[in-house]
């Protein structure tokens, strides 16, 4: 039985992964959360993991008391996440924490030669070169969980004929503000931004979808995962989120993956790869949809797509700066400290402040991330 470690098991991806685990009976060796002690206690009692990690120390202390009657060890802090992925019993790690905190555990999992299912896209955006090199050195294949990247991976048919590919067509739902003008966007509130038309996700990625930063991050993620150039990626707005992404081959044959918008499909494919088996989701009825629509994205109104494309073209730590600035700006927006479109300006400016470097270490990634966040905090306070 495959033994899993699920990082971020109390989140949107984490809980859906546990639905897949319930259906297929994988073993659960490790789980992690930030501070949600109640839910972690329930998960420990249901899945009997060898160890769990609560990133916050006080939460770890609380959990230790609550589950003292079980045999589960409770780790804490970021180091605890790394210890968890190195567990000898673990065959595979699903990294579904939110944000840059996922970087160290991603590297630790690769170094320990664990199979890695990756939902935590910020990790690839910030440290793509280092992550891919570490994967290559250790002979580990990274299995994408993000629905678009899973669709691309599936459309590649398991092998990697990327040199036979003209382009990747990356689909985007367009989020709740599709069709809005810049003026209308300036007025939106977090309650509006938190309502996604098709997907039920954590707060941060829901805001990223509304700002279309999510698609910019995914463009960078695709460059690293599939070894294509940024110019080979076309973003197409597809409101129904049924066509999850496509590939145009050299002969202009276009192959895509379709399905209902339910993350359990790509999560399960990563966990069972290369096998396919029935999944606890609804079936796609094309006739119920009747028609599917496709549009060019409005990059004038949603400029973060351009910011991200420029960041990955410049290379080095520009994507890391864009990602760090975005994490900070989204945090401030969720605290009602800045307006929605301020996210656009702050992320673009912080990205441009980054210095050009070719090679980088983990420490340099963390420094660039910190500087971008700092830029956003100071300029948000000054400007608004």
User: Which region among 116-124, 292-300, 337-345, 370-378 touches ligand NDP (by CB under 6 A)?
Assistant: 116-124
34 binds, among Mg ion, ligand NDP, none (CB under 5 to 8 A by kind): ligand NDP
198 binds, among ligand NDP, Mg ion, none (CB under 5 to 8 A by kind): none
13 binds, among ligand NDP, Mg ion, none (CB under 5 to 8 A by kind): ligand NDP
| Measured distance CA(98)–CA(214) in Å, rounded | 13
Binding residues for ligand NDP restricted to 282-341, rule: CB under 6 A: none
How many residues line the site for ligand NDP (CB under 6 A)? 26
DSSP character for 295? B
| CA distances to 7, 13, 85, 119, 138 from 21, in Å | 14, 12, 18, 16, 27
Residues 314, 315, 316, 322: what is their CA dihedral angle, to the nearest 10 degrees?
A: 80
Pick the binder of ligand NDP from 83, 122, 342, 369 (CB under 6 A): 122
Query: What mask, x for binding ligand NDP by CB under 6 A, covers residues 14 to 43?
Result: x------------------xxxx-------
Which residues are CB-contacts of 141 (< 8 A; sequence separation ≥ 6)? 115, 116, 135
| Measured distance CA(174)–CA(167) in Å, rounded | 20
| Residue whose CB is nearest to ligand NDP in the complex, by number | 11
Residue 128 touches ligand NDP, criterion: CB under 6 A: no
106 binds, among ligand NDP, Mg ion, none (CB under 5 to 8 A by kind): none
Binding residues for ligand NDP restricted to 214-273, rule: CB under 6 A: 263
Nearest distance, CB of residue 53 and ligand NDP, angstroms: 8
For the record, the structure tokens of 77 come out as: 């802090």
Pick the binder of Mg ion from 146, 298, 328, 369 (CB under 5 A): 146
Query: What mask, x for binding ligand NDP by CB under 6 A, covers residues 83 to 112?
Result: -------------xxx--x-----------
Q: What angle do CA 158, 270, 199 make, to 5 degrees?
A: 115
Residue 13 touches ligand NDP, criterion: CB under 6 A: yes
Residue 202 touches ligand NDP, criterion: CB under 6 A: yes
Nearer to ligand NDP (CB atom), residue 302 or residue 379: 302
Nearer to Mg ion (CB atom), residue 208 or residue 342: 208
Pick the binder of ligand NDP from 11, 80, 127, 216 (CB under 6 A): 11
Nearest distance, CB of residue 263 and ligand NDP, angstroms: 4
167 binds, among ligand NDP, Mg ion, none (CB under 5 to 8 A by kind): none
Residue 77 touches ligand NDP, criterion: CB under 6 A: no
Nearest distance, CB of residue 306 and ligand NDP, angstroms: 20
Please say whether the beta carbons of 278 and 263 come within 8 A.
no
Pick the binder of ligand NDP from 103, 143, 201, 332 (CB under 6 A): 201
| Measured distance CA(14)–CA(271) in Å, rounded | 12
Pick the binder of ligand NDP from 50, 104, 114, 121 (CB under 6 A): 121
| Measured distance CA(92)–CA(109) in Å, rounded | 9
Partners of residue 27 on adjacent β-strands: 3
Nearer to Mg ion (CB atom), residue 30 or residue 259: 259
| Gyration radius of the chain over CA positions | 20
| Measured distance CA(308)–CA(146) in Å, rounded | 17
User: Which region among 42-50, 200-208, 237-245, 251-259 touches ligand NDP (by CB under 6 A)?
Assistant: 200-208
Closest CA to 6 of 107, 127, 115, 100: 115
**Kind and range of the H or E element at 306?**
helix 304-314
| Measured distance CA(208)–CA(52) in Å, rounded | 29
Q: Which residues of 219-256 are buried (b: 16+ CB within 10 A; e: fewer)?
A: bbbbbbbbebebebbbbbbbbbbbbbbbbbeeeeeeeb
User: Which region among 9-17, 166-174, 231-239, 311-319 touches ligand NDP (by CB under 6 A)?
Assistant: 9-17
Question: Residue 130 phi/psi, 5° resolution?
Answer: -65, -40
Contact positions vs Mg ion (CB under 5 A): 146-148
By the criterion CB under 6 A, which residues form the site for ligand NDP? 8-14, 33-36, 55, 96-98, 101, 119-122, 146, 199, 201-202, 205, 263
């Amino acid at each position: 039985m495959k033994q899993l470690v699920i990082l971020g098991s109390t989140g949107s991806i984490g809980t859906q992964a546990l639905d897949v685990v319930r259906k297929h009976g994988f073993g659960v060796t490790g789980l992690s959360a930030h501070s949600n002690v109640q839910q972690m206690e329930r998960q420990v009692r249901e899945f009997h993991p060898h160890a769990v990690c609560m990133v916050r120390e006080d939460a770890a202390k609380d959990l230790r008391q609550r589950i003292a009657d079980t045999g589960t060890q409770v780790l804490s802090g970021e180091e605890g996440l790394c210890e968890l992925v190195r567990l000898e019993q673990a065959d595979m790690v699903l990294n579904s924490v939110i944000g840059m905190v996922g970087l160290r555990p991603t590297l630790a999992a690769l170094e320990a030669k664990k199979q890695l299912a990756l939902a935590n896209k910020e990790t690839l955006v910030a440290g793509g070169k280092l992550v891919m090199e570490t994967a290559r050195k250790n002979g580990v294949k990274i299995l994408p969980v993000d629905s678009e990247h899973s669709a691309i991976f599936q459309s590649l048919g398991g092998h990697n004929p990327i040199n036979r590919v003209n382009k990747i067509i990356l689909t985007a739902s367009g989020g709740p503000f599709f069709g809005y003008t810049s003026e209308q966007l300036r007025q939106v509130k977090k309650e509006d931004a938190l309502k996604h038309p098709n997907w039920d996700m954590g707060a941060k990625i829901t805001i990223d979808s509304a700002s279309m930063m999510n698609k910019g991050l995914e463009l960078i993620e695709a460059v690293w995962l599939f070894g294509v150039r940024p110019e080979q990626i076309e973003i197409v707005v597809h409101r129904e989120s049924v066509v999850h992404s496509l590939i145009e081959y050299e002969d202009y044959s276009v192959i895509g993956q379709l399905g209902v918008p339910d993350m359990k499909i790509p999560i399960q494919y990563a966990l069972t790869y290369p096998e396919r088996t029935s999944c606890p989701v609804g079936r796609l009825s094309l006739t119920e949809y009747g028609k599917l629509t496709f549009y060019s994205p409005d990059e004038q109104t949603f400029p973060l797509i351009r910011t991200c494309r420029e960041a990955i073209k410049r290379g080095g730590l520009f994507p890391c700066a864009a990602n760090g600035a975005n994490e900070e700006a989204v945090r401030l927006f969720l605290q009602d400290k800045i307006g929605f479109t301020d996210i656009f300006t702050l992320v673009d400016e912080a990205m441009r402040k980054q210095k050009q470097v070719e090679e980088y270490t983990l420490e340099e990634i963390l420094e660039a991330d910190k500087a971008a966040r700092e830029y956003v905090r100071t300029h948000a306070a000054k400007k608004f």
